[in-house]
Amino acid sequence: MRYRVFFIALMWALGAAAQEHHDWEDQSVVGIHKLPYHATLVLPTHKSANPEVTSLNGKWAFCWSPDPEHRPVDFYRADYDESGWSKIDVPGNWQTQGYGKPIYTNMSYPFKKEPPYVTREPAKHFYSYDHRNPVGSYVCEFLLDKKESDKAYFLHFAGVKSAMYVWVNGQKVGYSQNSMSPAEFDVTPYVQSGRNRLAVEVYRWSDGSYLEDQDMFRLSGIYRSVDLWTRPLVHLSDYKLETRLSADHQQAQVVLRAKVRNMGKKAAKSQEVRLTFEGKEYTVKVPVVRPDSEQEVEVMCGVDRPQLWSAERPYLYPVAVSLLKGSKVTERFANHVGVRTVEIKGDVLLVNGQPVKLRGVNRHEHHPQTGRYVDEATMRRDLELMKQGNVNMVRTSHYPNDPLWYELCDRYGIYVMDEANNETHAYGLGNHFFGDDTTWRTAFVDRATSLVARDKNHPSVIFWSMGNESIAGTNVQAMVDTVRAMDDTRVVYCDTDREKSDVYDDGYLPPARFEQLLEQQRSQRPVMMREYAHAMGNSLGNFREYWDIIYRYPGAVGAAIWDWVDQGLKTNNPNLTCSPDDFAYGGDFGDQPNDGPFCCNGVVDPDRKPHPHYYEMQKVYQPLDFRQVNDRELQIVSHESFTELTAYDYKYVYLAEGIPVDSGWVTPDNRGELTLPGYRGPSDDVCCNIYACLPETTLWAPKGFAVAREQFVCKRPQSVYINFAEHARVDRQGNAVSVSADGVQAAFDERGALVSWKQHGVEQLAQPLAPYFWKPANDNQKRNAYGRKCAPWRTAADNRTLTQVAVEERPGSAVKVTYQLQLPDVSANLTLTYEVGGSGVAVAMDYRPTAQTPERMPKFGMHLGLPLSKSLIEWQGRGPQENYCDRKTGSFVGRYQLPLKQFQVDYIAPQDNANRTDVDWCRFGDVHVSFAEKDCLGQFRAWNYTEETLERAQHPADLTPCGYINVNLDSEVYGVGGNDSWGADTLDEYQPDARQPKHFAFTLSVR
């Protein structure tokens, strides 16, 4: 080992690192001349005001090379002319700015697997076959008014992917990998007064990429901030803020441990470290610090009756950490402290001594235009939406995030699982290939060290995660030991080596299996699903079922949805093959290999517009539930640990026939019960909505925002029928029947389709009304057995055969036309019954299976086409957002109106969408559909394209309009599913059972 280290150092000194030996293909090299990791010294929102920090962000000169052999080898020279180069934004990824291709893979490496090498020959279809590790060469200049002899100068890179070399004024400074953590270099010997030249050579892949196999777009470049720090030769190299809380929570201690480093040539004397807390100053003298050494000191202060930090009440004490020489402050950093404890007792996770449930999401750092670089406004929007969606926990999947994220989580109130930049998924979960290979230990421990060293001062961080879908074995143990030695105040989490984890993890379990696991682990240790409820496309079914279980078991910590935001891109990349108006996903850049749209799993889209299932998450995650005691009394059930019920204002709204008619405010009694005034109006269709609202504006929502809500049905409407006909005429041509009745004309073909429907001579149909049992798949169903299991139903209606037609003319009543049909594709029978009367057409479907009928059907209902002129849609039912039988908790019954374009949902990857459930009636312009039997409410969907177009489309731009409104009217529709998107089926109770008889009825009229 000594010889190897000497050899690498010699090669570095000779400038021959790029010949036979590559630092970026050597797992033992994680950095050269890189300074130790340390805490984020100053809060990111205060950084611009700190006199020590000069931002180097902006336009840099840039040259992209397809491989190391074609890079400008000597571009770092002080006399190199890069005036002909392009300009690139720093921070930013080069692929999102037009250089090379973004590559999206879930777990496949985009280069040949042969660790530690990343330039061996891959399959010919790989992008990396002709682009064997692209290189980005960056140059920027900065001015230093005067280089001061009593100052030290540091370059701080917050994040560079995947590996980089750094030069200043033509002199090599160092090397770094571990791309999601900072790299800091002492550039004091290299900077000069006046103009300085910074050159950075970034490699797309390195041996570190084997430990960065995360499910995301693989992008590269200097994607986080670059800063020049000008500091005293004697300065604070690191500090840790820790809080200790008494058992009764009445006393707290704030402990500052600070390291003072001396980079001068003389011993540093008369130094002091000061902690400023609540206006008081606490100071400790620093022992003499000899040259090129450090001293650590501790400052402590007490707090009586402290206000505690939690996600519910994120109280922060502002603090300042200062270094003084004599009475002069030489450095001062603004920070904050949250007083809180995190511990496990038995199988329960406690924050400040109270059990908490973590309502979580996984969040990749993603922006649709800038890729891995996420600006502050977008971070704040994420947090607003999370808090409004009742999320209280975020997992930084699967790497340390930008430092600003943690400050904002502290302020907004979010529990954080902070995760090491460690995933080796392609080698298997819990693999020992890397897990027991000691030559990789330095790299794994480096990732654990950088995680804790940087983020240790954030109260929001309650977990240290050793990574995701990675290793088991001795290297995990080394990571855990390192973390515990650095910080023992938080929970250690490991998903692939469970024996080393404080919490038992499993992911993507369906509700029943999750409950079984909780039974098995009862009283042993807490259980959490760090990933569950895969929210790909139209998803998040059976979400309520998970939380019924979590609230039932004290040992269930919670779970985190996969994931927060769709990773779609809208960039100026010239390789884009889809419409620039669409979000691009894997393969849209001609990138190989790729995993298509599997990166689109969010509850919000890339622009942070909530998907329909966001509102299901919001409802199920709400911190309060309401239970009906009787007609007028409700019981409030709290899932919070630190918030009184009286912290909210409670509003009730009565709706009659879907329209608000009465509202007011009520106050809970000391038992947590609300007494409502009741509604005495004339309507037979009454609901009551109850809301728990914010009494004041917060950082994340305005006054009056509802954090919890519920709806109770008070009365249900009666059945609706069509009017009888005064005069009727029937014309029959074989099995085709035409009926005229008081201004209504209806024509039926030989197999029972309503092919024409006129009222007062105006045709209402653009396409016939006919039985239809097929539903296009959503993303979950594209990847399970749905298509095979339900395949016979795709053609079942088209291939129906007629058994009998009966016409019943009843004077003074509606004309009744009945078609007896067989469905040979599925061995079932169907009866269609129409009644034509003075106000419209009543339709009924009756279905009878046989012993040979398949078990499941996609849907039970009909479809028709209506003119585009009727594209304003109104309905009374659940809404306003799309909802399905297994995802409707968050959609309340009401009266809603939307234009067709807003009614349908354009998922990034087109799929089934737009359903509305529990519908009394719907209206398209003046065409009114009443689901006539209230014990069997209807469902409907509407699009301006056909199912065939939807199933062929790869992007929304492919959804060619069909020229009419394609409407589906149904009594049952297959649920969206929500466990995972690679095989899990919709739960049985949300699949239409084709073995059971079915009845469906509605009326068509013009109003």
Give catalytic residue positions. Answer: 469, 531
> Coil, strand or helix: which one is 498?
helix
- How open is the CA angle 780-781-786, to the nearest 5 degrees? 150
What are the DSSP calls for 534-547, one per residue? ---SS--TTHHHHH
DSSP state of 212: B
How many beta carbons lie within 10 A of that of residue 26, not counting itself? Answer: 18
Decide if 756 contacts 746 (C-beta within 8 A).
Answer: yes
Residue in the block written with tokens 């004599």: 326
Sign of the torsion formed by the C-alpha atoms of 77, 83, 86 and 92:
positive
Contacts of 377 (CB under 8 A, 6+ apart): none
Q: What would the two tokens of residue 92 be?
A: 């930013």
How many beta carbons lie within 10 A of that of residue 73, not counting itself? Answer: 14
Q: From CA 301, how far away is CA 103, in angstroms rounded? A: 51
SS3 percent helix, strand, coil of the chain, rounded to 5, is 15, 40, 45
Cβ burial of 15 (10 Å; 0-12, 13-18, 19+) is: exposed
Q: From CA 159, how far away is CA 880, in angstroms rounded? A: 42
DSSP state of 937: -
Q: From CA 33, how far away is CA 761, in angstroms rounded? A: 86
Q: From CA 756, how far away is CA 768, in angstroms rounded? A: 7
Residue in the block written with tokens 């030991």: 481
Element (H, E) at 626: strand 624-628
Q: Directed axis angle between helix 376-388 and helix 403-412, to 10°?
A: 40
Contacts of 957 (CB under 8 A, 6+ apart): 578, 579, 581, 582
> Coil, strand or helix: which one is 244?
strand
Q: From CA 40, how far away is CA 380, in angstroms rounded? A: 19
Decide if 844 contacts 825 (C-beta within 8 A).
Answer: no
Numbers of helices and strands, H then E, in the chain: 15, 59
Q: What would the two tokens of residue 222 be?
A: 């200097």
Strand partners, 65: 135
Cβ burial of 389 (10 Å; 0-12, 13-18, 19+) is: buried
Contacts of 799 (CB under 8 A, 6+ apart): 823, 824, 825
Cβ burial of 9 (10 Å; 0-12, 13-18, 19+) is: exposed
Q: From CA 120, how far away is CA 129, in angstroms rounded? A: 9
User: From start to end of 145-215, where are the E strands?
Assistant: 151-157, 160-161, 163-168, 171-176, 183-186, 194-203
Contacts of 113 (CB under 8 A, 6+ apart): 426
Decide if 415 contacts 464 (C-beta within 8 A).
Answer: no
Phi/psi zone of residue 967: left (φ > 0), alpha (ψ -120 to 50 degrees), beta? beta
Q: From CA 127, how far away is CA 644, in angstroms rounded? A: 57
> Coil, strand or helix: which one is 993?
strand
Sign of the torsion formed by the C-alpha atoms of 352, 353, 359 and 365:
positive
Is the bond preceding 899 in cis, omega lying within 30 degrees of 0?
Answer: no
